[in-house]
Amino acid sequence: MIIKQYFTEGIAHSSYILSGNKTCAVIDPRRDTDIYVQQARELGVKITHILETHLHADFISGHMELASRTGADIYAPKSAECDFEHIALSEGDSLMLEDMEINVLETPGHTPEHISYTVTDTARGEQPVALFCGDTLFVGDVGRPDLFPGRAEELATKLYHSIHDKLLTLPDFCEVYPAHGAGSLCGRAMASKRTSTIGYEKAYNYALNIKELNDFIDSLTTSMPDAPDHFSRCTGTNKEGPVLIKGFAPIKALNTEEFTETSKKEDSAVLDIRSFESFGGQHITDSYHIDLNSNFATYAGWLIPHFKNIMLVSDSYEQALEACTQLYRVGLDRIEGYLEGGLYDWVTAGLETDHVPQLSAVELHKKISTGNSLVVVDVRSASEYEDFHIRNSINIPVHELRDRYTEFNKKAEIALICGSGKRSSMGCSILKQKGFDRVYNVAGGMTGYAAAGYGPECPMCVLPWAPFSNKKETIREKV
């Protein structure tokens, strides 16, 4: 019995191969499936089973893609009523993979149709040794039950019983393999560790130690992080069966004339994926900016209208190709092409550009310390802002700027700040689209502001799993 975990950065998703000597199962696969095919080849086994725990809300699953490549059967919750060909599973069902017995537990709560898989290695013992729990149980947390409007309390109640009546009855030594880790928005407080055991979670998982049902419900239905836009789309796509990536045409290289002509169409959106420094220097007017080195897939799914044809501005073909892979993961399939020759060809062709001035931490501090009328907008999440922020700054999470830009005078001088300069640059691109001309991005964000001696480091931005920094520091006070 071999278990291999595959952690996908950005969406913080964990998928798995459960392998015997000749055959294997893939659990909760991502949409780009080369990694599983290659691993099976290296292990010398055949992929025969594809196991889905639920209809994932935060990414497009690879079950259809993998089945088309390998001929493996797809197994999914019966209650999901999936539209594609599959073997429907419900409580008490079981299947064998060589000497491994896989049993099904219905564990609704995060979603209405959720199931979990326990695995018993019958060659060694009679008790379950592994649990593939999807988004029911995480390391240090549990799945959020608030993704279905009007059903949060109902699903939180079901989640409580799924955990206490089923998962926590498993042996303490049973290993826990969740579908997400720290950085995912499918939970609130996941630990950086990516696997655990039932016994360890019993002892140290805050949610499992909330014994009263009403307290559990209150904890999981208040102060939850906002859910990105694509969460409401991915579930339906996974239920129907995603379109196969292998059927997509290769990304087109568009010269400046082709790019200009196509970008004028109403159904087009220009997405600049370069660094915030490059975007600030020169960018195509009215383009979105999401740094490929940020939490790219999540913010693309959140900010880019899914009905738009996406036109990429990158530093290279390889960068554009990577962006395509990440966009496909969140269901943004309408990719028109990328600008061949990049911004260099654009500016040397004499075409119009815009720019966003970058403020250093020192420049920002001078402005706000000398009574300058600069408006400082902190685009981090509300919880990050509450922990640590610049005095008199305004907190509007970056995705909310799409609507809340109306709260500002377009003639105002506005500086956007986040943890590093990446999310704030996203916000700058949104404000520029809305007609704001006096917009600044704070390069280095709160991390740079702290490093300059003006305050403590942002506790969220410096976590080792966060996409914006690798430093470690604890919070001491507000600025």
Map residue 175 onto helix, strand or coil. Answer: strand
Residue 458 lies in a domain: no
Provide DSSP, 271-311: EE-S-HHHHHH-B-TT-EE--TTSSHHHHHHHHS-TTSEEE
412: containing domain: 358-451
The CATH number of the domain holding residue 166 is: 3.60.15.10
* pLDDT score for 467: 39
Determine which of 155-164, 327-336, 401-410, 451-460 has the lowest per-residue pLDDT on average.
Answer: 451-460
Q: Where are the beta strands (DSSP E) in 169-228?
A: 175-178, 196-197
pLDDT at position 456 is: 64
Stretch 102-131: mean pLDDT: 97
Predicted local distance difference test score (pLDDT) of residue 461: 54
Please report which residue ranges of 63-208 form alpha helices under DSSP H.
63-70, 152-165, 198-204
Q: Is the pLDDT of residue 269 over 70?
A: yes
Q: What is the total count of domains within the chain?
A: 3
Please say if the pLDDT value at position 472 is more than 80.
Answer: no
In a domain, 479, yes or no: no
Report the pLDDT value the prediction gives residue 477, as an integer from 0 to 100. 30
Which pLDDT score is estimated for 479? 38
For the cut 90, the answer to whether the pLDDT of residue 163 exceeds it is yes
Query: 31 with 174, same domain?
Result: yes
For residues 336 and 376, state if they share a domain. Answer: no
264/119 same-domain check: no
Decide which of 348, 374, 407 is a domain's last residue: 348
* CATH number (domain holding residue 386): 3.40.250.10
Percent of the chain at pLDDT > 70 equals: 95
Give the model's pLDDT for residue 471: 33
| Final residue of a structural domain among 240, 263, 291 | 240
Question: Is 404 in the same domain as 279?
Answer: no
User: Is residue 380 in a domain?
Assistant: yes
Q: Which of 295, 323, 348 is the last residue of a domain?
A: 348
pLDDT, mean of residues 384-404: 94
**304 pLDDT band (50/70/90 cuts)?**
very high
Same domain? 47 vs 133 = yes
pLDDT recorded at residue 136: 98
Q: Tell whether 259 is covered by a domain.
A: yes
pLDDT at 201 over 60: yes
Indicate whether 154 belongs to any domain: yes
Statement to judge: residues 307 and 236 lie in one domain: no
- Are 410 and 337 in a shared domain? no
Higher pLDDT, 455 or 59: 59
Is residue 290 situated within a structural domain? yes
Q: And the tokens for 227?
A: 């859910």
Give the bridge partners for 377, in sequence order.
394, 416
Residue 463: inside a domain = no
Average predicted confidence (pLDDT) for the chain: 94
Mean local confidence (pLDDT), 26-54: 98
Question: Which pLDDT band, with edges at 50, 70 and 90, does 372 fall under?
Answer: confident
Residues 288 and 330 in one domain: yes
Q: pLDDT band for position 273 (50/70/90)?
A: very high
Mean pLDDT within 427-434: 98
- The mean pLDDT of 52-57, rounded to a whole number, is 97
Say if residue 398 is in the same domain as residue 288: no
Sign of CA dihedral 257, 261, 263, 268: negative
218 shares a domain with 310: no
Separation of CA 249 from chain center: 25
Do 258 and 214 share a structural domain? no
Q: How many CA atoms lie within 13 A of 104 on its CB side?
A: 24
Per-residue pLDDT band for 455 (boundaries 50, 70, 90) equals confident
Region 142-154: mean pLDDT is: 96
Look at residue 459 in the predicted model and tell me its pLDDT.
55
Q: Which of 64, 108, 68 is nearest to 90 (CA)?
A: 108
| 462, part of any domain | no
Domain identity same for 217 and 271 = no
Q: How far apart are CA 50 and CA 52, in angstroms?
A: 7
Q: Report pLDDT for 336.
A: 95
Residue 387's pLDDT is what? 85
pLDDT confidence bin for 457, thresholds 50/70/90? low
